[in-house]
Amino acid sequence: MKIWVDADACPAPIREILFRAAMRTAVQTTLIANHALRIPPSPYLQQRIVPGGFDVADQAIVEKVAAGDLVITSDIPLAADVIARGALALSPRGELLTTENVRARLNMRDFMDTLRGSGIHTGGPPPLSANDRKAFADHLDRWLARRGS
């Protein structure tokens, strides 16, 4: 099992948690982005740079992900795609997306997109909090523990 990271929008503190976890547990972790990122030297960490463009990184992840893998993303359509392939999706805020909740999240995303398209300012997400980082690390640790058993 591998970890795939939609790295263009992944906050630096979350990447740091992933780097430490990959090196501690020897799990292959691949960051996919349309620009180079700083990653520590490790046989368990790699990056794949894809061309810029709409959903190019997302498609690269969908092509490579396998059942049981973990994908780190805040992109709800990408999460739905990888869940359909048998993978798990975890947001940088620590929300585990599953077949049970991803449809509702897609509907909410589409609703908010419609509001923004009609000129209503919906605001953005709040800054990443310490609670978000803890929730992410906790879910990641649980996935890593299940992987080892």
Question: 64, 92, 62, 91: which is closest to 78 by C-alpha?
Answer: 62
68, amino acid identity = G
Q: For position 52, which CATH number holds? A: 3.40.50
- Domain with 96, as residue range(s), is 3-148
Q: Is the pTM of this model over 0.85?
A: yes
Looking at residue 92, its pLDDT comes to 96
Residue 112's pLDDT is what? Answer: 62
The mean pLDDT value of the chain amounts to 90
How confident is the model over 67-95, as a mean pLDDT? Answer: 95
- Most confident region among 31-40, 91-100, 112-121 by mean pLDDT: 31-40
Q: Nearest to residue 6, comparing CAs of 45, 33, 37?
A: 33
Greater pLDDT, 115 or 44: 44
- The answer to whether the CB of 81 falls within 8 A of the CB of 62 is yes
pLDDT of the residue at 111: 59
Please give the pLDDT value at position 125: 73
Instruction: State how many domains the chain has.
Output: 1
Query: What confidence tens digit (pLDDT) does each residue in 108-147 have?
Result: 666 567 766 777 776 667 789 999 999 999 999 999 998 7
The per-residue b/e assignment along 81-99, b for 16 or more CB within 10 angstroms, e otherwise, is bbbeeebbbbbbbbbbbee
